[in-house]
Structure 1
């Protein structure tokens, strides 16, 4: 006879060390809303953890863990935490029970066979060493970006600020910044260094751990000064949510432009239209996307990073941001004057934002966008992402984000290994009848506009006729 499940409204207590058992139905009620609004539970490998208070001090951010309240977080936990022994000290005090023996390992609504096959795939991936980074690869990626950055300054220093060297310098600076951005993305996902002592300066991007030793501080300063000049903890706060719940409205921060600038996805567009909401002429959003999206992104990022640093008192990160801007000003203002430098800098930022937005959104905007459907890890990632054809140019131009499916399934995998795991992922999808989308680069760009146009039409039809 199976043990009785817990029924207490408060936090269950483990009697005499004996585990207390619960059902998926009971766990599903603890989402921080409704009848049990003060409680948040989640499941990791059949063990149940009470995060009702812990989510407020979760090193990876309060929202990313809260998004799994009332759900199975096993695959998300495995995907985000490279060193599980390190986080065990956080989990142990939160343990309140286990799934009852008659309960399935994953929620009844999920595809258990797919979940099990993915776990086997992840074991295979680890055994093949595909989670091991190649330092030479990342060293080369940094070096080529650094040389482009240097070349942009040398162009202005040697040729002056006439139109041709000005535009060449802007182009070089833009390419360097976007490649730095791709490398920063790698560091944020803990995929550059294998050893913890080198990952630690960037590990806090995901885990909230601050660097302490001198060599770690030097590494962090190097990338802060040379790369983007933005707060890593904000990247952690936003990007982890995107990976946890991609294309899930109110859980994926990448959808924050809906509905204020763009209407995204059929379901959300119809809902917006029925509510008679019109912040923008969404029927024309495919036309104004190319200009308004990067312009808004530039201004939003500059404002958001400062606001985030001040609100959360990230004074060290704020100091590095200021050092970055001082470094750039000292490099260029003596050569071209303040006005020319402002034109140089903001033009490069606009071009960089355009590049980044087209690359990042080609894999997501054309895919399913809706509220959280609580899908299993594989189904959720495949529904929200697609790939772009592999080539040397595409790999470089997109920072290997043309392998978005593999990146979302294995966030800590070094990008130089994506192509190796692709056949295994395709085989998994074929076995379970899941569509694996891969398209040419220009088609992916065009699909952004086609998707925006269709979403605008859905909004307009619901707005006028609902």
Structure 2
């Protein structure tokens, strides 16, 4: 029997039952329901106050959100107090726990795998590991300054300083990524401050901007309109379906059949120095995020105070943009090698395991690959367990491979150089699909 909405007490809400057919109707802009552990919640009003942003929770409207809920919330007991007022009922007894004919046994086996990881203590972060990583970043910053102070601003010390600062900035990017996802310290307040310090004071960016953008990517990776990382603003066409759609509609904002060539001129050089910088400041001002803005200004104050004595105002601006130019190349190649070569499409309503594996691949493990990519070479494990600290990815990886093998889910791993080549290959393939559709009458 279908339950009715309206003002009810919590006991009455819990007694109401709903079918998947009814729940899936509540997937509108201002009317969103979702299911967690067979309980039905109305998040229509709450999502605007959701700490992770309205979009990341709204992307699961009309679906079973049990696995993403567990993936993003390490302290389930704490979150329950926010869920209770949103409870409106539960799935009807005859309804399956999974929507849209998802493989229930595969879902249960993945949850058993997560429980195994919890029992193994793989979600416990080692503060020493992350403290040493932060220390090595600060050491690079100090060595960069010391090189100029000792040897002056000649070509060799300048090049060495640029290399060290670009390395420290990139490694700080991987570290803030860790702090953004998990609680490294026992008190989350300290973890929150550490994240603000690394991304704000050490990189000149916004923690809230990153969280709201990046968590959407994790919730629905490579899904158009849900993952901001595949929103290319008509600059590139990605995957197999978007190029054909653009071609059939005769959309030609750029010559997409050459996107694998102009990628080198637009993607790596401009993402951080231009696009991200503008977007970060615009977001902070639009949202009146003055705390992040203060952290951001602390970075620029420290930077210019340090380097204006060596290079002057104009020289320091050029110096900064050269560093970000190099960092941007490093960042783009590492982040795109895991995703852009995989399936990029519209929503297909897969279970958590299948959704993440369709959009994600790994790069072979080695000491250099771990350091160079900030352990993002273990992208599959990171996407399945985003709150797991990076130093434990290699421990859970064999169990993930085994589960994927059991259900025939593709677990793709490749050498890093091949992954870089595949970025260009995938862009060329999508460009050719666009051209064929564009020329077809």
Offset, 1:191: 4.4
Task: Return the alpha-carbon distance in structure 1 between the equivalents of residues 195 and 275 of structure 2.
Answer: 24
1:69-107 deviation per Cα after TM superposition (whole angstroms, max 9, x unaligned)? 111111001000111122112111000000001111111
The answer for the alignment partner of 2:154 in structure 1 is 162
Secondary structure of the corresponding residue to residue 48 of structure 1: strand
> Which of 411, 420, 429 matches 2:386?
411
The answer for the alignment partner of 1:248 in structure 2 is 223
Task: Return the alpha-carbon distance in structure 2 between the equivalents of residues 251 and 144 of structure 1.
Answer: 36
Root-mean-square deviation (CA, aligned residues, Å) is 1.5
> Are residue 267 (structure 1) and residue 241 (structure 2) matched?
yes
Task: Return the alpha-carbon distance in structure 2 between the equivalents of residues 194 and 389 of structure 1.
Answer: 32
TM-score (structure 2 length as normaliser)? 0.96
Offset, 1:166: 1.3
Offset, 1:16: 5.7
Task: Return the alpha-carbon distance in structure 2 between the equivalents of residues 449 and 180 of structure 1.
Answer: 27
The answer for the alignment partner of 1:313 in structure 2 is 288
1:162-241 equivalences under 5 Å are: 162-199=154-191, 202=192, 219=194, 222-224=197-199, 226-241=201-216
The answer for the alignment partner of 1:116 in structure 2 is 108
> Which of 147, 165, 171 matches 2:139?
147
Task: Return the alpha-carbon distance in structure 2 between the equivalents of residues 221 and 82 of structure 1.
Answer: 20
Secondary structure of the corresponding residue to residue 184 of structure 1: helix
Offset, 1:357: 0.6
1:326-379 deviation per Cα after TM superposition (whole angstroms, max 9, x unaligned)? 100001011221232222110110110110010000000000000111110000
> Are residue 86 (structure 1) and residue 51 (structure 2) matched?
no
Secondary structure of the corresponding residue to residue 27 of structure 2: coil
The answer for the alignment partner of 1:295 in structure 2 is 269
The unaligned stretches of length 5 or more in structure 2 are none
The number of equivalent residue pairs is 439
Task: Return the alpha-carbon distance in structure 1 between the equivalents of residues 319 and 50 of structure 2.
Answer: 40
Secondary structure of the corresponding residue to residue 40 of structure 1: strand
Secondary structure of the corresponding residue to residue 242 of structure 1: helix
> Are residue 40 (structure 1) and residue 28 (structure 2) matched?
no
> Which of 123, 129, 133 matches 2:125?
133
Task: Return the alpha-carbon distance in structure 2 between the equivalents of residues 101 and 366 of structure 1.
Answer: 41
> Are residue 103 (structure 1) and residue 77 (structure 2) matched?
no
The unaligned stretches of length 5 or more in structure 1 are 203-215
The answer for the alignment partner of 2:45 in structure 1 is 53
Offset, 1:268: 1.1
Offset, 1:435: 1.0
> Which of 364, 385, 397 matches 2:372?
397
Task: Return the alpha-carbon distance in structure 2 between the equivalents of residues 11 and 371 of structure 1.
Answer: 34
TM-score (structure 1 length as normaliser)? 0.91
The answer for the alignment partner of 2:22 in structure 1 is 26
Task: Return the alpha-carbon distance in structure 1 between the equivalents of residues 377 and 338 of structure 2.
Answer: 8
> Which of 271, 278, 282 matches 2:256?
282
Judged with a 3 Å threshold, the aligned counterparts in structure 2 of structure 1 residues 133 and 278 are, in CA distance, closer, same or farther, namely: same
